[in-house]
Amino acid sequence: MRLRDQLLAALHPPARSGVVDERVEGTKSIRVVLRPDGDVQIEFHLPGRAGSPFEQLFVLPPDEKEAAVDEICQFVDGLLNEKIVLAVDGRLVRGGRRWVSPEELNRVAKLRFSASWHGTFDR
């Protein structure tokens, strides 16, 4: 609930862009950033990994901010509780960064690496 309240307060006019919340676990961190355009970016920082931070953008429709904030909170909760894992697929055409459940990791065709908050699913 703390994150939800912080995001809603930051979005209240006049919106205050910048880091809304940050969590740190060892060398990993997750930042929730309100961008100047009013959208919210989640950054998953993995030191030593090319491409870090790995980001997820949430576009906030003006008339649906509360629903979008709830979705953002679910995403962050999923990361923190390892219900969502970062998977990097090494395929050239259909590869890239994906957020998947731990059960889906075995279905990533060319898994270059995966990362989870507590390290349970790091490969």
Report pTM: 0.91
**28-52 average pLDDT score:** 95
Q: Do 71 and 60 meet the contact criterion of CB atoms below 8 Å apart? A: no
What average pLDDT does this structure show over 97-107?
A: 94
How far is residue 42's CA from residue 21's CA, in Å, rounded to a whole number? 10
What beta strand segments (E) does the chain contain?
18-25, 28-34, 40-45, 54-58, 85-89, 96-100, 111-115
Residue 34 contacts residue 11 (beta carbons within 8 Å): yes
For residue 13, count other CB atoms closer than 10 A to its CB: 5
- pLDDT digit string, tens, across residues 9-39: 998 888 889 999 999 999 999 999 999 999 9
Residue 93 pLDDT > 70, yes or no?
no
Task: Quote the Cα angle for 51-85-24, to 5°.
Answer: 70
